Amino acid sequence: MSPSSKSPRYSAHTLESARWVLPAYRKSRAIMKLAKIITIIGALVMTAIIGYAFIAGDFGAEGAILTSLPWGIVSLVDLYVGFTLFSVWIVYREKSIPLTVVWIAAVMTLGAFAMSLYAFLALQSSAGDWKKFWMGKNA
């Protein structure tokens, strides 16, 4: 059915509002695409840097040095506060308790790699809906 002034479904206000909806929709899709690109780059960078650290570093010795330094401790606390906040988001949006536990374990051990992967999968499963992306099962 085409818009007409006789149809109660359409009005001048509705048609005027529609002019703003399409650009906003396109902008939202562009931002979501950018977010996906950023999450993929994040996962790739973390894969490379974790691989490098395992090959070139000594986890035990360097971890002991890091935890002996005040700013090393601050960095680790900051890191795990961020991991915990991200994990709260996972708990909020996921339906499955076992899957939630797996994701939280991944975030706590793999850090930003797991967070990037989770965010990418959440973006993919949201099908362009920001509310579904942020709220998951609660959308």
Cβ within 8 Å of residue 118, ≥6 positions away:
86, 90, 103, 106, 107
The model's pLDDT over 89-100, given as tens digits with 9 standing for 90+, comes to 999 999 999 999
Share of the chain above pLDDT 70, in %: 83
Looking at every residue in the chain, the average pLDDT score rounds to 89
User: How confident is the model at residue 23, as a pLDDT?
Assistant: 72
User: How confident is the model at residue 28, as a pLDDT?
Assistant: 87
| pLDDT level of residue 26 (50, 70, 90 thresholds) | confident
CB 126 within 8 A of CB 133: yes
Per-domain residue ranges of the chain: 31-138
Share of the chain above pLDDT 90, in %: 78
Side-chain half-sphere of 98: how many Cα atoms within 13 Å?
Answer: 0
Which ranges of the chain does DSSP label H, i.e. alpha helix? 12-56, 59-68, 70-93, 97-110, 112-125, 130-135
The model's pLDDT over 29-77, given as tens digits with 9 standing for 90+, comes to 899 999 999 999 999 999 999 999 999 999 999 999 999 999 999 999 9
Pair of tokens at residue 60 = 């035990």
CA distance 111 to 13: 48
pTM: 0.80
